[in-house]
Structure 1
Amino acid sequence: MPTELEELVGFLAHPNPQIRLVAIENLVQFSTVQPSIFKKDQLLPIKHLKFLIRDQPKIAEHALTILINLTGEQDVLENVATDDRFLGIALGLLSDPKEQNANLIAMLLANLSKYDGLKTLSTRKQAPPESAARLGSDDLVLNQLMDLFVKGADGSYNPHADFDYLAYVCADLSQHASVRKYMVTPQAYDDVVPLSKILVFTEHKSDVRRKGVASAIKNVAFEVDSHADLLDEGKINVLPYVLLPIMGGEEYDEEEMADMLPDLQLLPPDKTRDPEAGIVQTHVETLTLLTTTREGRELMRRVKVYPVIRETHARVEDEGVQEACERLVQVLMRDEAEDGEMKRIEELDDDDRIEEV
């Protein structure tokens, strides 16, 4: 005999929308405390939930919330992330400027991005809906996601969404080499490097945006062949965007200040560094990665990165931040004549690329 909960799950496919709504409203709470009830009959309830994201807005909202909770389970994650038809529907809804549940879709996509197979988004193409014409992207899904993240900030594209959680999508996908290559390659439709579009969000009111963007920059910094472009002021120019968030209103002596990057000079006394220690640590680790080449190390010495790290170490009472600062200082203070060209950064390995979001 099926239990009452199992009967309730069965009503997800009921033809009457009022019954579906009552059922799904009562099931949301069980998606965290009793996920097994959604795994019956070879995940048939998951199939129903995926269908319901196109239902009336309230039903779709609950369906998405349940899917977000359940994709923490590996079997559900794989089922949803490998459903090509569902991905196409979700991506189409996400780029619809009138979609009321766009933020929840972005959150679900952030979960799905943890599945390695989703790196295929780097080549996936899909025409955005006609209602999204002002997005201005081409048919490459990653370009659509990037433009949604940039143009949709603070509800400027869709009044129902800010698309903050696409920062986590960017962070997780950038662990893959194909996506990192995409991030540093000018796109044909606008001749802009995707990474350069998101750098401004290293200083943003949203913790989610700052954290995701910081992790994405760090992951891209593993591409040593791209370091020259990353550091070039006339190209991607990541350095000021990585340094500004870790700087407060500290005073530096005139000699140090004179050699700093122009964007870092004469900051107001009320300038605050990022309040999240984890984000500060990520930026410091990015700087360490960017010292992999001799050119990178010499640039950082020339623009006085050391004083910034010195102040960060002194003022951020966090063990992870202080250890990251010490590792960077060891590299910057090292004698080049003694050590020669360093081909690798020993202190950071691939497992350090991104902390779980």
Structure 2
Amino acid sequence: MPSELEDLVGFINHGSTPVRQLAVENLVPYSSSQPAIFKTDGLLPVKHLKLLVRDYPQIAKNALDILINLSDDHEILEDLSKDNTLLDSLLSRLTNPTEPNANLIAMLLANLGKEDNIKILLQLGCVSPEGLRSSDRIIDQLFDLFVKGADGTYNKDANFDYLAYLFADIAKHTEGRKYFLTKQEYDGVIPLTKLTVFTEHKSDVRRKGVASTIKNVAFETDKHDLFIAEDQINILPYLLLPIIGGEEYSDEDQEGMLDDLQLLPPDKARDSDPEIIKAHVETLMLLTNSREGRDTMRRIKVYPVIRETHLAVEDDGVREACERLVQVLMRDEEGQEVSDGMKQLERTSKRTVPATKGGGWADQESEDDDDEIMEV
């Protein structure tokens, strides 16, 4: 005999709008605590919820809340991610400048990004809304929504911050990384450069998603010259500014530092999230895969910034990442001593960090899986 909750689930596709609204409103908390009630009859309740995304705004809001919670369940997530009709519906609403639930849609899309089918976003096309001034490719439109969302110039109800997490998942795929690094014809811009400017944004979600995206794209090691070149992506100031604080540096330390890092105010604060700092340091580590990357970091005095970050941030993950990076920067190059005043980073209590081998990070092997830089 169905329980009262299962009976309530049966009303989410009721013909009466007030009944549907009351049902989904009361079911939102149970989508986290009792997801099984939505998995009956071959996921029929999930099918009904997907239709409610197109319902009246308040009903759609509750349906989206439920689907976001249910996407923690792998079976449901797989079902949602393979439904291209749902994807089309979400995208058409996301790009509507008057859509009140755009942020929830972005959050659901970010969850769908965990499944490989999300790569289809790189292939989909749709006429761009006039106000967006984008191309007719969905992926371009998502990037332009994200940029305009930072100051609310497209949709007053949306900042589109959660698209950053979607981008990070797309960047796990080779096709995605290729897109991020390819200048687009419609605006002449490399997509990744649309994200780098947000590494110091006030939104934690935006900063974290952008940091993860940059790191994942940096696994495209044969394109590191684009990352470093000042007339291309010019990534280094965007990685270093979030991790530098208001410490005073000696003249010797500052000589050669990037202009963006000099004469910073004494109250300059580094990012408050250790995971973001760790992601940026690990991206720097990935960029040491090439001789050019290592030499550039030595020349612009990355070491003092990493040294002070290691001292200031009381987080084991951050400190271990800093220690590995310094090991690489101190290493001899073809018999040449390049330590240049750099010293091994130490702390009172730490887990032993494996010594670095020759070559870049991509060539290193570790007996401890935790020492590997992973896509996020």
Which bin holds the TM-score, normalised by the shorter protein? over 0.9
Asked whether the equivalents of residues 282 and 373 of structure 2 are also in contact (C-alpha less than 8 Å), the reply is no
Partner of 1:187: 184
**Offset, 1:143:** 0.7
Residue ranges of structure 2 left out of the alignment (5+ in a row): 336-356
Aligned mates of 1:205, 1:59 — CA distance in 2:
31
2:217 pairs with 1:220: yes
Aligned residues: 352
* Matched letter for residue 136 of structure 2: D
Aligned mates of 2:372, 2:331 — CA distance in 1:
25
2:232 pairs with 1:235: yes
Partner of 1:311: 308
**Offset, 1:255:** 2.4
**Offset, 1:170:** 0.7
Structure 1 106/183 Cα, relative in aligned 2: closer, same or farther at 3 Å? same
**Offset, 1:116:** 1.5
Q: Kindly report which structure 2 residues correspond to 1:292-307, keeping only aligned pairs within 5 A, or say none.
A: 292-307=289-304
What per-residue deviation string (whole Å, max 9, x for no partner) do you get for residues 234-262 of structure 1? Answer: 11100000000000011111122120011
Aligned mates of 1:342, 1:29 — CA distance in 2:
48
**Offset, 1:340:** 6.7
Aligned mates of 1:141, 1:90 — CA distance in 2:
12
2:65 pairs with 1:65: yes
Asked whether the equivalents of residues 24 and 63 of structure 1 are also in contact (C-alpha less than 8 Å), the reply is yes
Structure 1 351/181 Cα, relative in aligned 2: closer, same or farther at 3 Å? farther
Q: Kindly report which structure 2 residues correspond to 1:71-110, keeping only aligned pairs within 5 A, or say none.
A: 71-110=71-110
Partner of 2:17: 17
Q: Kindly report which structure 2 residues correspond to 1:202-281, keeping only aligned pairs within 5 A, or say none.
A: 202-281=199-278
Asked whether the equivalents of residues 255 and 301 of structure 2 are also in contact (C-alpha less than 8 Å), the reply is no
Secondary structure of 2:43 counterpart: helix
Q: Kindly report which structure 2 residues correspond to 1:102-181, keeping only aligned pairs within 5 A, or say none.
A: 102-128=102-128, 132-181=129-178
Asked whether the equivalents of residues 218 and 353 of structure 1 are also in contact (C-alpha less than 8 Å), the reply is no
* Matched letter for residue 238 of structure 2: Y
Aligned mates of 1:344, 1:280 — CA distance in 2:
20
Structure 1 162/7 Cα, relative in aligned 2: closer, same or farther at 3 Å? same
2:198 pairs with 1:201: yes
Aligned mates of 2:365, 2:193 — CA distance in 1:
27
* Matched letter for residue 39 of structure 1: K
What per-residue deviation string (whole Å, max 9, x for no partner) do you get for residues 149-193 of structure 1? Answer: 001114221011111100101111111111011001001110100
Could you say which structure has the higher helix fraction? 1
Partner of 2:282: 285
Secondary structure of 1:12 counterpart: coil
Structure 1 69/340 Cα, relative in aligned 2: closer, same or farther at 3 Å? closer
What per-residue deviation string (whole Å, max 9, x for no partner) do you get for residues 277-323 of structure 1? Answer: 11001100000000000011000000000111011101111100000
* Matched letter for residue 250 of structure 2: D
Aligned CA-pair RMSD: 1.6
**Offset, 1:46:** 0.6
* Matched letter for residue 26 of structure 1: N
* Matched letter for residue 136 of structure 1: R
The percentage of aligned residue pairs carrying the same residue is 59
TM-score (norm 2): 0.91
**Offset, 1:347:** 6.1
Aligned mates of 1:322, 1:174 — CA distance in 2:
26
Asked whether the equivalents of residues 281 and 320 of structure 1 are also in contact (C-alpha less than 8 Å), the reply is yes
* Matched letter for residue 353 of structure 1: M
Asked whether the equivalents of residues 286 and 361 of structure 2 are also in contact (C-alpha less than 8 Å), the reply is no
What per-residue deviation string (whole Å, max 9, x for no partner) do you get for residues 50-96 of structure 1? Answer: 10011111100000000000011011101111001110010010010
More divergent stretch after superposition (134-143 vs 304-313)? 134-143
More divergent stretch after superposition (194-203 vs 145-154)? 145-154
* Matched letter for residue 156 of structure 2: P
Secondary structure of 2:321 counterpart: helix
More divergent stretch after superposition (151-160 vs 318-327)? 151-160
Asked whether the equivalents of residues 175 and 353 of structure 1 are also in contact (C-alpha less than 8 Å), the reply is no
What per-residue deviation string (whole Å, max 9, x for no partner) do you get for residues 201-253 of structure 1? Answer: 10011000110000101011111111001100011100000000000011111
Aligned mates of 1:67, 1:154 — CA distance in 2:
28
Secondary structure of 1:42 counterpart: coil
* Matched letter for residue 18 of structure 1: P
More divergent stretch after superposition (338-347 vs 319-328)? 338-347
* Matched letter for residue 16 of structure 1: S
Aligned mates of 1:301, 1:78 — CA distance in 2:
46
Asked whether the equivalents of residues 12 and 48 of structure 1 are also in contact (C-alpha less than 8 Å), the reply is yes
Partner of 1:344: 362
Partner of 2:2: 2
More divergent stretch after superposition (280-289 vs 335-344)? 335-344
**Offset, 1:120:** 2.2
Asked whether the equivalents of residues 180 and 190 of structure 2 are also in contact (C-alpha less than 8 Å), the reply is yes
Aligned mates of 1:343, 1:98 — CA distance in 2:
46
Asked whether the equivalents of residues 167 and 213 of structure 1 are also in contact (C-alpha less than 8 Å), the reply is yes
